[in-house]
């Protein structure tokens, strides 16, 4: 079988036609959220806040000075605390967090002016985000026309996850970024709006906190809006740059994305002149800087090499079911001029506890049923394809990027929960609910145990009495 050149040249046109068909797919009448939905969302938000507060209380002040730098799964907790509450701290990581400081720091600075300590102010911001994450995730699932109780159950699965316990109990920028991803899922489930403004704000939001999270906004936009302008033929005849640009600037996808990019560009420039040592996300030099964290590059430089299977296992399994943590010594790097400790679970494999094993098996089967439900449920095809693309895109990114994949778990958790929730639309919805309950209960028991083990390691290490490293990873 031969493929003619003309067939290859037609591929972009066919892709545009396929994308337009997907974006115009009728997903039926929208679900109208009622007062009871608001009550349930608020209750789930309170659950998120209390869970987060419990985690903070377990850790206490363990990670809130320079002794805790990178210790908690390579999290930048001390730096983020400073950035959230002090414009004069070192905001150099705004190169990959494009507008995080200018959007979040004013709230922390106001709280410190009102008398709160920096740690307390930053912690309260995270507590608010923890509440929002569960409430908004409930709204996203309800907009898929799932029953209230089913939506609440899958939000419970999210709340019991290893990711929620480990990363909603510390001060990090992954949680604010996760909120923007959940908002992308909310709009994806809701569909097109009369005005582009909500989609522009969503797209700008996903770009604002973490640069790679923009792909969630772009994918959601592509799933709901056509690339080609509605009701207008493409320019014909002799090529004209003016006509070409004029035509494509009427594209809803390009218009939404371009305006969103422009908003963050302006915010980043203002941030650059307002916050100490702030960088610019469009500075090409960041490519060289971030290449340090690309695993194949690290392997070529003699540092720990590429572990694609462990990366994917961490991203899709450890995100929900945490394995045992361990302490690891990290070598001198371009960032730290001496050896230092981190708590890690990258090479722990699957959880070996009885509840953890049960939850892992249930989670894998639940994801399988979610894929089944996404395939057979025709009405929500644009949502299903977009969620699948988000999960695959995260997999492609983190099979290559990042020394410790669990650090990036908050970004993939929301689409994974939505995929698992698609199991409700499979032919085995009742079995799916049982599996979800097993993941929530057994997984929660396992994750609490692994979290408290990590807390103990952190406290011993900061106190100058780190546990014995055996085996010496």
Rounded CA-CA distance 47/131 in Å is 7
**Predicted confidence pLDDT, tens digits, the chain (473 residues):** 455 666 666 777 778 778 788 788 777 778 999 999 999 999 999 999 999 999 999 999 999 888 888 999 999 999 999 999 999 999 999 999 999 999 999 999 999 999 999 999 999 999 999 999 999 999 999 999 999 999 999 999 999 999 999 999 999 999 999 999 999 999 999 999 999 999 999 999 999 999 999 999 999 999 999 988 876 777 777 777 877 788 788 889 999 999 999 999 999 999 999 999 999 999 998 888 888 888 887 776 666 667 889 999 999 999 999 999 999 987 766 556 667 899 999 999 999 999 999 999 999 999 999 999 999 998 999 999 999 999 999 999 999 998 899 999 999 999 999 999 999 999 999 999 999 999 999 999 999 999 999 999 999 999 988 887 755 44
The two tokens of residue 95 are 């190169």
Q: How far is CA 65 from CA 96, 119, 315, in A?
A: 23, 10, 29
148 Cβ contact partners less than 8 Å away, ≥ 6 residues apart:
36, 37, 40, 142
């Amino acid at each position: 079988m031969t493929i003619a050149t003309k067939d290859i040249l037609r591929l972009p046109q066919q892709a545009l036609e396929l994308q337009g068909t997907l974006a115009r797919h009728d997903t039926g009448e929208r679900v109208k959220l009622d007062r009871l939905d608001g009550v349930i969302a608020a209750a789930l938000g309170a659950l998120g806040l209390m869970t987060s507060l419990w985690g903070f209380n377990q850790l206490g002040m363990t990670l809130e000075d320079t002794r805790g730098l990178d210790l908690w799964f390579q999290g930048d907790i001390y730096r983020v605390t400073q950035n959230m509450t002090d414009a004069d701290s070192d905001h150099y990581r705004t190169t990959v967090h494009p507008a995080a400081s200018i959007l979040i720091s004013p709230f922390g600075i106001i709280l410190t002016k009102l008398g709160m300590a920096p740690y307390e102010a930053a912690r309260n911001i995270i507590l608010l985000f923890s509440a929002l994450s569960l409430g908004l995730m409930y709204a996203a699932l309800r907009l898929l026309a799932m029953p209230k109780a089913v939506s609440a159950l899958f939000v419970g699965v999210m709340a019991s996850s290893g990711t929620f316990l480990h990363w909603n109990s510390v001060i990090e920028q992954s949680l604010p970024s996760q909120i923007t991803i959940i908002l992308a899922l909310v709009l994806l489930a809701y569909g097109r709006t009369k005005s582009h403004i909500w989609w522009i704000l969503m797209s700008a939001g996903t770009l604002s906190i973490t640069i790679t999270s923009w792909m969630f906004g772009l994918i959601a936009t592509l799933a709901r809006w056509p690339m080609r302008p509605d009701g207008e033929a493409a320019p014909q005849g002799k090529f004209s740059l003016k006509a070409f640009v004029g035509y494509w600037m009427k594209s809803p996808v390009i218009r939404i994305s371009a305006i969103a990019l422009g908003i963050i560009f302006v915010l980043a420039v203002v941030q650059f002149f307002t916050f100490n040592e702030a960088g610019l996300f469009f500075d090409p030099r960041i490519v060289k800087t971030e290449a340090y964290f690309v695993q194949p590059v690290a392997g070529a430089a003699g540092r720990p090499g590429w572990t694609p299977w462990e990366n994917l296992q961490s991203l899709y399994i450890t995100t929900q079911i945490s394995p045992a943590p361990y302490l690891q010594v990290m070598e001198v790097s371009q960032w730290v001029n001496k050896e230092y400790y981190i708590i890690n679970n990258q090479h722990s494999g699957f959880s070996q506890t009885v509840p953890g094993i049960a939850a892992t098996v249930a989670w894998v089967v639940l994801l399988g049923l979610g894929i089944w439900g996404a395939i057979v449920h025709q009405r929500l095809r644009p949502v299903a394809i977009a969620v699948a693309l988000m999960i695959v895109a995260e997999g492609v990114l983190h099979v290559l990027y990042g020394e410790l994949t669990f650090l990036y778990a908050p970004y993939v958790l929301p689409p994974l929960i939505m995929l698992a929730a698609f199991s409700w639309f499979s032919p085995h919805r009742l079995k799916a609910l049982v599996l979800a309950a097993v993941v929530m209960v057994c997984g929660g028991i396992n994750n609490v145990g692994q979290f408290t083990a990590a807390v103990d390691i952190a406290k011993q290490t900061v106190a100058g009495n780190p546990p014995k490293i055996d085996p010496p990873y």
